[in-house]
């Protein structure tokens, strides 16, 4: 006996049931995806270089007025700007941090970090960490030791950015070790403060360099955005989010401060 052909009404009902199942599966899929995204949110560690007039420097520059707009955005949207030491301690203790938590970092020790960024950080009451290459201190365009002491006394964390800002993977092992250990010793002697954190110059590192940083007594090290640890579980390979002069557009700024940016950025091989 030939199977009966469903009536138009029955066909419509079957289509409705199929569409309902598809919609339920889509909702479940999107829900699980959103839950996964939320659980893997990473506290954004923001990286600045120059805070100055746009186009004045070859290295990434955020104009001073743009930088203030970043800080105002964080204040207006009630972000918690966490001191770097507190961020590391919270990670060590497995503490769950607010979705609106960010960390501010500066590389290289340019004098405009003192003249332009530091007054704004004080005005807004925000902490930050500045990673310093010791050979650069006092050179034209860079901070002086007195300026570093003033910032450290005001609550700015000082970290090491090696001695000469050399690309570490290209150096002999003995020189790498000196760049890592001696820079810390010099900073601690000149500033009279503990130096516990390291920033890889040019973002260059490998497993051996990470081990040398650990052995030198640092408790953390930051990269640029190189490496494949998107979730910042490795304390010696903490990825950062680079800010530049184009980050005033709201969607871009939101993405970088949101904590989801690292999940979707293109992973870059450590060099």
What pLDDT was estimated at residue 27? Answer: 65
Q: In this predicted model, what pLDDT tens digit does every residue of 17-66 receive, in sequence order?
A: 777 777 776 665 544 444 444 555 688 999 999 999 877 776 789 999 99
Q: In this predicted model, what pLDDT tens digit does every residue of 131-186 receive, in sequence order?
A: 999 999 999 999 999 999 999 999 999 999 999 999 999 999 999 999 999 999 99
What pLDDT was estimated at residue 19? Answer: 73
Strands 101-107 and 129-132 come out as parallel
Q: In this predicted model, what pLDDT tens digit does every residue of 82-132 receive, in sequence order?
A: 999 999 999 999 888 888 999 999 999 999 999 999 999 999 999 999 999
Higher per-residue confidence, 231 vs 180: 180
Token pair of 189, please? 């002697």
Query: 3-class DSSP state for residue 59?
Result: coil
Q: Is the pLDDT of residue 189 over 90?
A: yes
Residues 130, 109: Cα–Cα separation, whole Å: 7
Q: DSSP string covering 40-82, please? A: T----EEEE-EESSTTS-SS-EE-HHHHHHHHHHHHHTT-EE-
Q: In this predicted model, what pLDDT tens digit does every residue of 72-87 receive, in sequence order?
A: 999 999 999 999 999 9
Q: What is the pTM of this model?
A: 0.82
Strand partners, 242: 47
Q: Is the pLDDT of residue 255 over 80?
A: no
Fold adopted by 43-264: TIM Barrel (3.20.20)
Q: Give residue 247's pLDDT band: very low, low, confident or very high (50, 70, 90).
A: low
Token pair of 12, please? 């419509």
What pLDDT was estimated at residue 210? Answer: 96
Q: What is the average per-residue pLDDT within 9-21?
A: 72
**Domain spans in the chain, listed from the N-terminal domain onward:** 8-39, 43-264
Token pair of 91, please? 């990670």
Q: Is the pLDDT of residue 226 over 60?
A: no
Q: Is the pLDDT of residue 250 over 60?
A: yes
Strand partners, 209: none
Q: What are the φ/ψ torsions at residue 75 (nearest 5 degrees)?
A: -70, -50
Residues 269, 271: Cα–Cα separation, whole Å: 6
Q: Is the pLDDT of residue 10 over 70?
A: no
């Amino acid at each position: 006996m030939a199977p009966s052909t469903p009536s138009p009404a029955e066909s419509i009902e079957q289509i409705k049931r199929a569409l309902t199942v598809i919609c339920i599966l889509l909702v479940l899929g999107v829900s699980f995806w959103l839950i996964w995204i939320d659980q893997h949110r990473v506290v954004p560690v923001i990286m600045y270089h120059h805070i100055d007039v746009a186009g004045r420097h070859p290295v990434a520059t955020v104009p001073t007025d743009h930088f203030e707009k970043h800080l105002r955005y964080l204040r207006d949207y009630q972000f918690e700007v966490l001191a770097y030491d507190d961020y590391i301690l919270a990670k060590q203790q497995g503490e769950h941090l607010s979705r609106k938590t960010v960390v501010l970092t500066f590389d290289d020790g340019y004098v405009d970090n003192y003249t332009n960024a530091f007054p704004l950080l004080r005005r807004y009451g925000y902490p930050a960490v500045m990673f310093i290459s010791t050979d650069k201190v006092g050179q034209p365009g860079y901070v002086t030791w007195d300026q570093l002491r003033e910032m450290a006394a005001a609550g700015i964390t000082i970290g090491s950015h090696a001695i000469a800002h050399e690309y570490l993977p290209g150096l002999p092992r003995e020189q790498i070790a000196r760049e890592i250990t001696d820079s810390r010793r010099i900073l601690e002697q000149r500033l009279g403060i503990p130096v516990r954190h390291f920033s890889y110059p040019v973002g260059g590192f490998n497993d051996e360099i990470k081990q040398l940083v650990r052995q030198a007594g640092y408790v953390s090290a930051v990269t640029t955005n190189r490496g494949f640890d998107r979730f910042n579980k490795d304390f010696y390979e903490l990825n950062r989010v680079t800010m530049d002069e184009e980050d005033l557009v709201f969607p871009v700024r939101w993405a970088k401060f949101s904590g989801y940016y690292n999940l979707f950025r293109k992973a870059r091989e450590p060099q």
